[in-house]
Amino acid sequence: MITLKEALKLNKEDLNKFKEDLKAKIEADSELNAYIDVNNVGDGVPIAIKDNIQVKDWSVTSGSNILQGYISPYNATVIEKMLSAGLSAFGRTNMDEFAMGSTTESSFYGKTLNPRNRDCVPGGSSGGSAAAVAAGLAIAALGSDTGGSIRQPAAFCGIVGMKPTYGRVSRYGLGAYASSLDQIGPMTQNVEDAAILYDIISGHDEKDSTSANMNDKVSDKLDASRKLRVAVLPKHIENASDEVKKAYAQAIEALKASGHEIVEKELMDAKFDISAYYITATAEATTNLARYDGIRYGNRVDGKNLEDTFIQTRSNGFGDEVKRRILLGNFVLSSGYYEAYYVKAQKVRHIIKDEYVKIFEDVDLILSPIAPGTAPKFGELKNPMDMYLSDLYSISVNLAGLPALSLPICNAQNGMPVGLQLIAKAYDEQTLFDGALSLEKKLGYKA
């Protein structure tokens, strides 16, 4: 598969030929279920789009039954920016319903398979985007990251996935899961492509009240030769598998060999991250999904009266995982529990952010796992709690609003990719990409 950088240099004739070949390749590997459908908006380089990003005149369903038949009347800001830069939206990728999941199994369209081993999950919720890039069915893709939903599937599939600082990429046109955590980002074959796509989709947007008034670019200033101070977390990785610990040690040696300084730091127990995240995310999800009632949005299932219509619509429209998170969100926001759970979660979130600020007073980057192990096989996560606990390394980044990049380090003994993440301080994407490019060049990872 050609890279994004290479594709941007193709003439119109070659690009059209490439698109036809790509479409045929996607149809031939429909078993992977990376794409929900294949469309094309624009004349430019084809980019796969997660099914929760609005593309005008496309069906956009967030992987849910309740939005079947909905056609978007407008483009998300990231799509407008892509079209202006010579890219085209090319197909909707599969995802966990409303981005709620870590395996892409909760989709209305069925599960996506991991192209590295089709018995394994591709990760989630952006599993379709990750699988498409990893399988050579996309040059690059857009995903969304609420608690690791770009970085974790990127790690499981052996590609690069980048979550920008909160506010650096407009959320206008993104189907909301948890509004204070969600962020659109690039999923690519390499670090340089991620930087190029990040530059295209980032920047201030008046349509998004949380958008940062910044338009800095990074790809033309990439510098793998910069020497950085990188924090490592010896105690933080104790719950990781031996394969992840081995990859972590390998990455540290590669950073040292490239001239970077390694500094040991500590973060508080990740169990606090999980508690704060799932209280915050489900509370916000409950509010965001309240609009899907069959009256304002969503396929209506007529009941005996208005209340019964609400109940029937939501009962039939939402899947089990979405219902579970709505129930949890309503509980933590309910009278008598709001102070005990939600308010405490926000205090913990503040502590988590302060912890990162303190570390970044002394270092440029943090090296961390993304998941405790490699991609599990379908059925290995026995219950929802197993899935929630698998997010322990990814969610603090969203709670703190920081940029992070998932990078494949090596293959485990079972042949599956092992990815780690670099984390930077807020709005320091340049350092994040420079450090990631240095590590990528030193490792020379090949899937």
Q: What is the set of active-site residues?
A: 50, 125, 149
Say how many Å lie between the first and final Cα of the chain, rounded. Answer: 13
Contact 88, 40 (CB under 8 A): yes
Both structure tokens of 12: 């119109």
Query: How far apart (Å, rounded) are the C-alpha atoms in residues 53 and 401?
Result: 20
Helix residue spans in 158-241 (DSSP H) = 191-201
Q: Taking the CA atoms of the chain, what radius of gyration do you get in angstroms? A: 21
Query: For residue 431, what are its two tokens?
Result: 């350092």
The secondary element (H helix, E strand) that includes residue 141 is strand 141-144
Query: Helix, strand, coil: what percent of the chain each, to 5?
Result: 40, 15, 45
Secondary structure class of 429 (helix, strand, coil): helix
Mode of pairing for the β-strands spanning 261-264 and 229-232: parallel
What span, in angstroms and rounded, lies between the C-alpha atoms of 60 and 76? 11
Quickly list DSSP for 233-285.
-TTTTTTS-HHHHHHHHHHHHHHHHTTPEEEE-----HHHHHHHHHHHHHHHH
CB atoms within 10 A of CB 71: 10
Return d(Cα 92, Cα 81) in angstroms, integer. 18
Beta carbons of 427 and 212 less than 8 angstroms apart? yes
Contact at 8 Å (CB) between 416 and 120? yes
